[in-house]
Amino acid sequence: MGRLEIVGLEGIGEIRPGDDLAGVIAEAAAASAVGLRHGDVVVVSQKVVSKAEGRLVPVDPEDPHDHRRVVEAETVRALRRRGDLVISETEHGFVCANAGVDLSNVDEGWAALLPVDPDRSARRIRDGLRARAGVEVAVIVSDTFGRAWRRGLTDVAIGCAGIAALVDLRGSQDDRGRELHVTEVAVVDELAGAAELVMGKASGIPVAVIRGVEEAWFGGGSVRTEIVRPPAEDLFR
């Protein structure tokens, strides 16, 4: 704790279905001044993960209904609709616009879907980086979501590996020696948002390396089991 460094990784080229994403990241890191070190957190944008995993479906660019059809297929439950916008609950339990289906930065005529299991995607990249670069890092797969009561989008974690998604400070003492009650911090979401600040939207930098993250946070972790709020807890579904 105390000091973080966040660097966008240059030199990740176009990613295509079947590409070894961990290999590409390891190569780009080796060629850059940043490198990869034990204890780094590697944040990877969903778009390149979906591409590498072949999560692309054809859509007719002339027919807006075709995009709509894909969104509906990816939507388990529609929480709200307004015009073309659907606030979807996805198979993963995420609540996001248009079920995370994305037409930007993919070839015309194609849409990118969310990875089937983004925690598993993160684990694969983590295992690949251990094999390729010989380093033990944590991996976060990030995507850009809206919020119910705040304008603007932020990047959040949709999958993680090697790092706790929530850091539970309940029971820690505040600086008066009293118990703090609810302070489970979604550190993977804060890390994903921080990474977005160096990735940008159209800058072609889909990977960021975060160095200096608190060692105690490393270990097992899952966005699905820790962050996704079960409907029974949910006050707004």
In the region spanning residues 142 to 161, those forming contacts with a copy of itself, defined by CB under 8 A, are 144, 147-156
Residue 53 near a copy of itself by CB under 8 A: no
Give the residue, chosen from 25, 133, 196, 222, that forms a contact with a copy of itself under the rule CB under 8 A. Answer: 196
Closest CA to 192 of 227, 140, 150, 114: 140
Residue 83 near a copy of itself by CB under 8 A: no
The residue among 128 and 140 lying less far from a copy of itself, judged by its C-beta, is: 140
Binding to a copy of itself (CB under 8 A) within 200-219 occurs at 200-205, 213-214
Residue 7 near a copy of itself by CB under 8 A: yes
Using a 10 angstrom Cβ sphere, with 0-12 exposed, 13-18 middle and 19 or more buried, the burial of residue 44 is buried
The residue among 132 and 155 lying less far from a copy of itself, judged by its C-beta, is: 155
d(CA 237, CA 224) in angstroms, rounded, equals 17
Least distance in angstroms from the C-beta of 196 to a copy of itself: 6
d(CA 19, CA 53) in angstroms, rounded, equals 8
Binding to a copy of itself (CB under 8 A) within 91-110 occurs at 94-95, 97, 104-108
Give how many residues touch a copy of itself by CB under 8 A. Answer: 74
Least distance in angstroms from the C-beta of 237 to a copy of itself: 7
The residue among 73 and 197 lying less far from a copy of itself, judged by its C-beta, is: 197
The residue among 99 and 165 lying less far from a copy of itself, judged by its C-beta, is: 165
The Cβ of residue 177 has, within 10 Å, a number of other Cβ atoms equal to 6
Residue 80 near a copy of itself by CB under 8 A: yes
Residue 118 near a copy of itself by CB under 8 A: no
C-alpha radius of gyration, the chain, whole number: 18
Piece in contact with a copy of itself (CB under 8 A), picked from 22-30, 69-77, 131-139, 181-189: 181-189
Sheet holding 85-90, edge to edge: 75-82, 85-90, 95-97
Least distance in angstroms from the C-beta of 39 to a copy of itself: 14
Angstrom CA distances, 237 to 86, 146, 230, 233, 234, stand at 14, 15, 10, 10, 6
190-209 burial string, b = 16+ CB within 10 Å, else e?
Answer: ebbbbbbebbeeeeebbbbb
Angle of the 21-31 helix axis to the 118-133 helix axis, nearest 10: 50
Residue 174 near a copy of itself by CB under 8 A: yes
